[in-house]
Amino acid sequence: MIPRISFPGGVSVPALGQGTWHMGEDGASRAREADALRLGLDLGMTVIDTAEMYADGAAEEVVGDAVDGRRADAFIVSKVYPHNASRSGVVAACERSLKRMRVESIDLYLLHWRGAVPLAETVAGFEALVQAGKIARWGVSNCDVDDLEELGAALPGCATDQVLYSLENRGIEFDLLPFCARHSMPVMAYSPVGQGGRLLRVPALMAVAARHGRSAAQVALAWAIRSGGVMAIPKASDAAHVRENAAAAALVLDDEDLAALDEAFAPPSRKRGLAML
């Protein structure tokens, strides 16, 4: 059973979801990628995260293939480019995303990162989309504490902050994670197993994995969601990888494991700039 987290308003979703960054880049892989997402739905990873940026919208088309005929099974997250995040621009961008995914609404719509458009203007666009039934809720991505504080009275409406978080990128633990916890706002962790495989070759992580008879990636995922306030959205394009990710939900790390990982990947002792990919 995959642990669950709750967004403001009470909707509950699995703490392990599915990412789609780099999906849709090769048309020959589209059917396989959609099959992988459908398998993830079957295994309980019902959150599918995508963005208009990914493969210039082609990743959203893969998502559309995956949820065709089973829209009710999926909790769809997509993201808008900063340069499309004006009051009217965000509405137009959302309509394009809906068309690419062939769905009537998006469960969670995020600002991909901050740009020149004032946050208040983007939020006004988001709220208009909520009122129109085009999105159920909104949030942000790649935003730090000061950005969230800038939301002011709109902060309770922000469902999540999607940020880079993994054993090798723990900076948010100093202030952003506590801030979000105080506001009952779960964090979505992208790239939770790192990029390029470097993290998964670290001896301490491999030792914990060996102790449990698991893969290093499964340990990294179990670690990312250990607190109960974080959802991880790893990408997997083939069935074996999807099954490996889903099985990580059953792994519980003990104090010895966590101490070993803390020694190898020290938690932050001071404020750090928000890491981004």
Phi and psi, residue 65, nearest 5°: -60, -45
| 22 among annotated binding-site residues | no
User: Distance (Å, rounded) from C-alpha 19 to C-alpha 193?
Assistant: 12
Cα(220)–Cα(206) distance, integer angstroms: 10
What are the beta bridge partners of residue 110? Answer: 79, 139
| C-alpha–C-alpha distance, residues 164 and 166, integer Å | 7
For the four alpha carbons of 268, 227, 109 and 192, in that order, the dihedral sign comes to positive
Q: Which residues are CB-contacts of 128 (< 8 A; sequence separation ≥ 6)?
A: 87, 91
Rounded Cα–Cα distance for residues 225 and 47 (Å): 14
Q: Which of 54, 109, 165, 190 is flagged as catalytic? A: 54
81 is catalytic: no
Binding residues for substrate: 112
Q: Give the residue numbers of the binding site.
A: 112
Q: Which residues are catalytic?
A: 54
